[in-house]
Amino acid sequence: MNYEHICKSTVDIATSAGQFIHSKLGKQVVNSVESKGKHNFVTEVDKAAEKQIVEALQKLIPESGFIAEEGTSTKKGERFNWIIDPLDGTTNFIHGAPPVSVSIALMENDEIVVGVVYEIFLKECFYAWKGSPAYLNGKEIHVSTAGRVSDSLIATGFPYHNFDRLKGFMQSLEYFFNNSHGVRRLGSAATDLAYVACGRYEAFYEYNLNPWDLAAGTFLIQQAGGRSTDFKGGNNYLFGKELVSANANVFNEFLEKVGGFMNK
């Protein structure tokens, strides 16, 4: 398998889908917005972008399967499966607010081998393949070198329907408000993780994420020199509904703080 070729073809597919999504900005009508749950929306643009992506990826690797947010294809591949969020940041998109990203990852057996995140407003494409560095629009990127939480800019996502762990989450926010450079919440986990990969943020954490939210972004962080685990420091983050990601220098301290609040 030529991972570089697959990745660069995926970049083209993500970029094309991102351009389609961008062309629909400001044209969204209320009647085309559906609710999948409390504060969890989907639009016709989400569905159309996913259909476009799935069709293109199926041609790229015909035997591949899909784990896709909108369920355009439920085919399961024996060796290869694509993990797709066609429009990460739907609420942002509905309101015309950045960021909005296309997120595509390729999983070979149980390993992510390609990750692509395309942010449509800044036209930034983050990508990596197995054995490569991470890149942003053709330039190699790395996680930051900050070594302490007190020197870190931290990203997170706010819960919008699962409030079971809200108490610990709010305590963690209070701690980071007081002991870091600040906390950011953009509304697109894929973008947040790409920003950790390129050093704009030092760290990210969130609970109740889905695999399509984080598969590509965590792979980018890995290839850029960072780390990702669940809240207990284990590897059950892709499907485990909890994620801590950070540059390698700050990771242990950050995990200790997040875990201390979220594992109560």
pLDDT tens sequence across 172-191:
999 999 999 999 999 999 99
Please, which pLDDT band fits residue 161 given cuts at 50, 70 and 90?
Answer: confident
pLDDT tens sequence across 31-81:
555 544 444 456 889 999 999 999 999 999 999 999 988 777 788 999 999
Q: Residue 18: pLDDT above 60?
A: yes
**Phi, psi (deg, nearest 5) at residue 160:** -125, -5
* C-alpha to C-alpha distance for 87 and 227, rounded to whole angstroms: 25
Do the domains 149-262 and 3-141 match in fold?
Answer: no
Q: What are the residues facing 101 on neighbouring strands? A: 88, 119
Specify the CATH architecture of the domain 149-262. 3-Layer(aba) Sandwich (3.40)
**Phi, psi (deg, nearest 5) at residue 230:** -80, -175
pLDDT tens sequence across 77-100:
999 999 999 999 999 999 999 999
Q: Residue 226: pLDDT above 80?
A: yes
Using a 10 angstrom Cβ sphere, with 0-12 exposed, 13-18 middle and 19 or more buried, the burial of residue 170 is: exposed
Q: What sections of the chain are H helices per DSSP?
A: 3-23, 44-60, 90-95, 166-179, 189-197, 211-223, 251-262
pLDDT at 219: 98
pLDDT tens sequence across 102-151:
999 999 999 999 999 999 999 999 999 999 999 999 999 999 999 999 99
Distance of CA 156 to the CA centre of its chain: 11
| Tokens coding 221 | 């962080």
8 A C-beta contact, residue 91 and residue 41: yes
User: Nearest to residue 126, comparing CAs of 242, 218, 34?
Assistant: 218
pLDDT at 178: 98
Please, which pLDDT band fits residue 4 given cuts at 50, 70 and 90?
Answer: very high
Domain boundaries, the chain: 3-141, 149-262
Q: What are the residues facing 37 on neighbouring strands? A: 40
Q: β-strand 33-37 against 40-43: which pairing, if any?
A: antiparallel
pLDDT at 115: 98
Fold exhibited by the domain 3-141 = Fructose-1,6-Bisphosphatase; Chain A, domain 1 (3.30.540)
Q: Residue 16: pLDDT above 90?
A: yes
pLDDT tens sequence across 183-219:
999 999 999 999 999 999 999 999 999 999 999 999 9
pLDDT at 28: 55
pLDDT at 163: 78
- Model pTM score: 0.94
DSSP code, position 238: S
pLDDT at 160: 74
User: Nearest to residue 108, comparing CAs of 77, 86, 131?
Assistant: 77
Q: What sections of 24-150 are H helices per DSSP?
A: 44-60, 90-95
